[in-house]
Amino acid sequence: MSTESHVPPERASSAAGPLAERPGKIVAVHLAYASRAGQRGRRPAAPSYFLKPTSSLAATGGVVERPAGTELLAFEGEVALVIGAPARNVPVEKAWQHVAAVTAANDLGVYDLRWADKGSNVRSKGRDGYTPVGPALLDARAIDPAGLRVRTWVNGELVQEDTTGDDALLFPFAQIVADLSQHLTLETGDVILTGTPAGSSVVVPGDVVEVEVDAPTAPGAPTSGRLVTTVVQGDVPFGDVGAGPRIDDTQRAEAWGSRAAAGLAPEPAPFVLTDELADKLRRAPVAGLSAQLRRRGLDNVIIEGVRPGTPGATLVGRARTLRFVPHREDLFAAHGGGYNAQKRMFDAVGAGEVIVIEARGETGSATLGDVLALRATVRGAAGVVTDGGVRDFDAVVATGLAVFSKGPHPAVLGRRHVPWDTDVAVACGGATVLPGDVVVGDADGVVVIPPHLVEEVADATLAQEEQDAWVAEQVAAGHPVDGLFPPNAEWRARYESSKAQSSKAQSPREPR
């Protein structure tokens, strides 16, 4: 295999741009710059790719259409590599020898169509004119692949600037060439789009996008020149023969680069079960929490039929879920032994979390025993809820772990169950439980609270408990319950007055 790098004379210039002949293929990298990975909130361990049709190539100075009925056409300034000699199974240290030239590219895409592509980008990035390249080629022999710079301007304003140094790229260009050559032959003239840095955003009709790739530290500071593309509005609507445009706020945020840039409100902060909130839930009885949830339209949040193994035991924590399916001999042989889903969950449960087990209400077999209970205790778990049985019941109780179950049973797991999967929606005691739901248990049973309602429901329950305690005092004093439980307007006014007086009495006195 020849490793000589050269720019074929017939490809050095063309009235349609620097590529005189259409390449056999265009391969594009999904994510390659650290700045872009930071913007997207994900950092891949290895490069991934998609193909663009060669019909998407366009010359510098051209126009690109935003399709009719779409909103989110985005630019991506990139370094394009042009293969000079075929590459198949080449090592990283020789990969750059197979690159003939580099130039500027704009990897345009319509985010409105990404939903249908599942990462292939056929619809979103494959349209005619969506891969402009040029205007000039830089000889790869004369430049250091780690010494390039890519810049993008929109309407004259610099919006992207990054280099190809080791700190900038997740995957050096030689690694990308070597990796691709493991899977397919890179042929002379093929083009590789190497990913875009942070700063990619949305453009609208009338905008002018310019991309330039240069080697500022190389002799003569060679440059591709500016690749100029003007956005125009398309007027041909999509037909009903296939997938059409569809957008949501997630796509808007990714297309614009951030929620703020897209004019969207910030994402709500993720729910955290703080110590203060957990303490409120410990003071709030399950019966009261259930009543408050019912007032908010949630009546199917009780895990039916489970009781604490130790009288007076309580639990508060976020759900981790474990699902068992009915026993079947071949499935148990494949999934029941070794490091199965049950063992993985008890090894993975975190401090303050509650393992919720779907056992279909089947009490003819245990769903955990003393060793797993001990493991959960050591991990700091808040407890276990299962609508099945518990083996080694007294030993489980002795671990101190709060376990709510249907009661003891001596049989092992494989009698009725196959451990199947973890951290999925489960049905436990007739209630649906999602990973991350908040689970609260006491002598009355177990209730499941959606995270977004936890603080509201906890505060309302404690307020109701305070009122109920006052009502109980009135009943104990001899008052009939009619009109008092629940309080009518007269009794409520008395309660509010008593509450105000109590607060005043407890507040510090003003200094004289």
Q: Whole-angstrom Cα distance, residue 303 to residue 35?
A: 46
Q: Which residues are annotated as a binding site for Mg(2+)?
A: 392
Query: In terms of Cα–Cα distance, which of 285, 263, 248, 304 is closest to 431?
Result: 304
Identify which of 271, 358, 355, 276 has the alpha carbon closest to the alpha carbon of residue 317.
355
Beta bridge partners of 357: 322, 386
Q: Which two tokens stand for residue 357?
A: 């087990």
Task: Decide if 428 contacts 303 (C-beta within 8 A).
Answer: yes
- Alpha carbon 85 to its chain's center: 40
Residue 148 burial by CB count (10 A; 0-12/13-18/19+): exposed, middle or buried?
Answer: buried
Which residues are documented as binding site?
A: 369-372, 391-392
**Is 179 exposed, middle or buried (CB count within 10 Å of its CB: 0-12, 13-18, 19+)?**
middle
Q: Hey, is 111 helix, strand or coil?
A: helix
* Widest pairwise Cα distance in the chain: 106
Identify the pLDDT of residue 507. Answer: 61
The pLDDT of residue 487: 87
Residue with tokens 């399950």: 286
- CATH architecture of the domain formed by 9-237: Alpha-Beta Complex (3.90)
Residue showing tokens 């976020």: 318
Point out the annotated binding site for substrate.
Answer: 369-372, 391
Q: Which parts of the chain sit beneath pLDDT 70?
A: 1-17, 505-512
At residue 108, the 3 state secondary structure works out as coil
User: In the chain, which segments carry CATH 3.90.850.10?
Assistant: 9-237
CATH 3.50.30.40 placement within the chain: 275-456
Query: What tens digit of pLDDT does each residue of 354-371 get?
Result: 999 999 999 999 999 999
- In tens, the pLDDT along 397-454 reads 999 999 999 999 999 888 999 999 999 999 999 999 999 999 999 999 999 999 999 9
Read off the pLDDT of residues 225-267 as tens digits, 9 standing for 90 and up: 999 999 999 999 999 999 999 999 999 999 999 999 999 998 8
Percent of the chain predicted with pLDDT > 70: 95
Secondary structure, 3-state, 246-310: CCCHHHHHHHHCCCCCCCCCCCCCCCCCCHHHHHHHHHCCHHHHHHHHHHCCCCCCEECCCEECC
Instruction: Find tokens 């630019």 and name the residue.
Output: 75
Domain 275-456 belongs to what architecture?
Answer: 3-Layer(bba) Sandwich (3.50)
Identify the pLDDT of residue 268.
82
